[in-house]
């Protein structure tokens, strides 16, 4: 058997990276003259193992996580990546804006290995929100040779930063490809009748403290007004989140506080939802696939396409605004339907096809 024409390394470290790289990995595995290796940095441990198994992926290379702090992890990861890069790779593929993605891109750069950046061009231009992701993704943007923005807005951001147009391919977001994969292979789809539940998640550190309290008091008010509405709240395991959520909502009859859901459970919870309240970036991309309106518990979002398309609204965390917005959608079926029917502005499920077409055309 001859040497493959393309020797590709996919670098992942966290749950979202795995989700968004998984469909690309499976698609690349079917291509002739292509060897693709999956590297997991260990940035996420058990959560990562669950999601890898969900997508039938066994990493070819697993790094050992060293230390408990981000700094210790970074030092250990960078040293181990140095050894991996001794192999003659044709391309390193990274996704998003994590420490693992940045370290993978940086190490490849030092070894003159071209970098492909999946989900390129997301920007808030606020270094503190999200922190440190905003700066990490900008730095990856300076390193990458292939830029795969999910939306026209992301593409425009790259052009504004003087990235050459010929290096940019508008693809859509691979998260939709991943959803289509689990719908087909894992049987995800709506399984309940009626309105459905109100699904809530909040975990971002900029919302810790007062803002989480405000959201919880808003949910308590909504639950009291609508005892027939089931509120499903998978609670992040961080004590900073757990304590106020359980203190404020633990005894509300129609609020169900549960442990964090794995990927398949979350996709099913989305499919069965009436409405989503979240500060998660990923859910902003995923809820529209199932036609579920979403309220963003943040003051800004790097995914404004959801707002422009009409499938999401930015509500922040102040209790009065959260309550009033939910109440308006409860009372106005036409407004809810308009959001539900807006479609998913982040992709059509063909992002991986476009990425592979670009790589096969342009990767020497």
The answer to whether the CB of 42 falls within 8 A of the CB of 13 is yes
CA distance 355 to 240: 39
The answer to whether the CB of 50 falls within 8 A of the CB of 22 is no
251 is catalytic: no
211 is catalytic: no
The distance of Cα 224 from the centroid of its chain, to the nearest Å, equals: 32
DSSP 8-state code for residue 119: T
The answer to whether the CB of 93 falls within 8 A of the CB of 24 is yes
DSSP 8-state code for residue 146: E
CA distance 76 to 201: 32
- Sequence-ordered alpha helix ranges (H) in the chain: 15-29, 46-54, 70-84, 99-110, 133-143, 152-160, 174-186, 210-225, 239-249, 263-271, 281-286, 304-309, 319-331, 333-340, 351-362
Q: Starting at the edge strand that comes first in sequence, how are the strands of the sheet with 146-148 ordered?
A: 61-62, 34-40, 6-12, 91-95, 115-118, 146-148
Q: Which of 17, 119, 211, 279 is flagged as catalytic?
A: 119
Q: Which of 40, 44, 65, 203 is flagged as catalytic?
A: 203
Structure tokens that stand for 191 in this block: 């399984």
236 is catalytic: yes
CA distance 308 to 306: 5
Q: Which of 142, 205, 225, 341 is flagged as catalytic?
A: 205
Q: Is 201 left (phi over 0), alpha (psi -120 to 50) or beta?
A: beta
**234: nearest Cα among 255, 211, 208:** 255
Q: Which of 15, 17, 26, 97 is flagged as catalytic?
A: 97
272 is catalytic: no
Strands 312-314 and 294-296: parallel
Catalytic residues: 97, 119, 133, 203, 205, 236
């Amino acid at each position: 058997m001859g040497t493959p024409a393309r020797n590709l390394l996919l670098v992942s470290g966290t749950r979202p990276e795995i989700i968004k790289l998984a469909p690309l990995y499976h698609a690349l595995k079917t291509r002739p003259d292509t060897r693709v290796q999956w590297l997991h940095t260990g940035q996420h441990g058990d959560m990562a193992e669950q999601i890898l198994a969900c997508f039938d992926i066994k990493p070819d290379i697993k790094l050992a996580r060293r230390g408990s702090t981000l700094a210790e992890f970074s030092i250990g990861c960078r040293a181990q990546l140095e050894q991996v890069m001794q192999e003659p790779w044709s391309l390193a593929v990274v996704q998003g804006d994590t420490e693992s993605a940045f370290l993978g891109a940086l190490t490849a750069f030092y070894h003159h290995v071209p970098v492909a950046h999946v989900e390129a061009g997301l920007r808030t231009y606020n270094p503190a929100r999200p922190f440190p992701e905003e700066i990490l993704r900008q730095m990856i943007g300076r390193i990458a040779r292939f830029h795969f923005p999910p939306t026209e807005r992301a593409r425009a951001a790259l052009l504004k930063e003087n990235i050459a147009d010929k290096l940019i391919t508008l693809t859509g977001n691979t998260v939709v490809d991943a959803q289509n994969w689990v719908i087909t292979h894992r049987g995800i789809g709506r399984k309940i009748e009626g309105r459905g539940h109100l699904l809530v998640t909040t975990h971002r550190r900029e919302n810790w403290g007062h803002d989480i309290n405000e959201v919880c008091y808003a949910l308590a008010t909504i639950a009291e007004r609508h005892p027939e509405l089931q509120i499903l709240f998978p609670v992040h395991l961080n004590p900073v989140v757990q304590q106020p959520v359980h203190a404020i909502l633990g005894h509300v009859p129609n609020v169900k506080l549960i442990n964090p859901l794995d990927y398949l459970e979350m996709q099913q919870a989305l499919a069965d939802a009436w409405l989503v309240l979240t500060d998660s970036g990923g859910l902003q991309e995923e809820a529209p696939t199932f036609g579920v309106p979403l309220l963003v518990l943040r003051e800004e979002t790097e995914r404004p396409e959801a707002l422009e398309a009409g499938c999401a609204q930015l509500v922040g965390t102040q209790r009065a605004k959260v309550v009033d917005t939910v109440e308006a959608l409860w009372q106005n079926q036409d407004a809810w339907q308009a959001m539900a029917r807006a479609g998913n502005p982040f992709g059509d499920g063909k992002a991986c096809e476009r990425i592979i077409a670009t790589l096969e055309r342009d990767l020497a």
